[in-house]
Amino acid sequence: MDKRSGSPLEDIRVSVRLKLFALWCSLIFLYIYGDYFQLYQPGQLREMTEGVTAFGPVSQGILLGMSALLIIPSLMPFLSLALPATVNRWVNIVAGSFYTAVMILAIRGSWHYYVVYGLIEIALTLLIVWLAWTWPRQPA
């Protein structure tokens, strides 16, 4: 209740699709900021200019793989709104599970700020999986 007026605040039910859309958008921002702040780590820019990645020397294959890893979450906000419900549910369960596992592997041995970002990203991807798994069914 609003203490000033004594009446309850207006509230609407937000669809699972919009919740998934918002979670994927938040996740993308966290990915971007985490990677941006990583550039401030000593030696990071030097490694970039020398063509060194966590997966080895820079190559077209490495950059294509890294791009593919980020293309999927970038498409998920749209897909969460556009795909049919049954397909949408499974795409979100699979993608959310996959990106949870990726982040669990990525934060091992990382700097504290990156671990914080990673733990939040893990929480968001688990929430994506949970929301998709518990997607409400229409009454018969």
Residue 7 lies in a domain: no
Residue 118 lies in a domain: yes
Residue 59 lies in a domain: no
> What digits encode the pLDDT tens for the residues 19-34?
999 999 999 999 999 9
Residue 70 lies in a domain: no
Residue 58 lies in a domain: no
**Domains in the chain: how many in total?**
1
42 DSSP assignment: T
Which helix H or strand E contains 58, and what residues bound it? none
- Helices 16-38/112-133 angle, 10° precision: 160
Alpha helices in the chain (DSSP H): 16-38, 44-49, 60-82, 85-106, 112-133
pLDDT tens for the 140 residues of the chain, in order: 556 677 888 889 999 999 999 999 999 999 999 999 999 999 999 999 999 988 889 999 999 999 999 999 999 999 999 999 999 999 999 999 999 999 999 999 999 999 999 999 999 999 999 999 999 998 87
Residue 110 lies in a domain: yes
Q: What is the pTM of this model?
A: 0.89
Residue 108 lies in a domain: yes
Residue 66 lies in a domain: no
The residue range of the domain holding 93 is: 16-42+76-133
Q: Residue 53: beta bridge partners?
A: 56
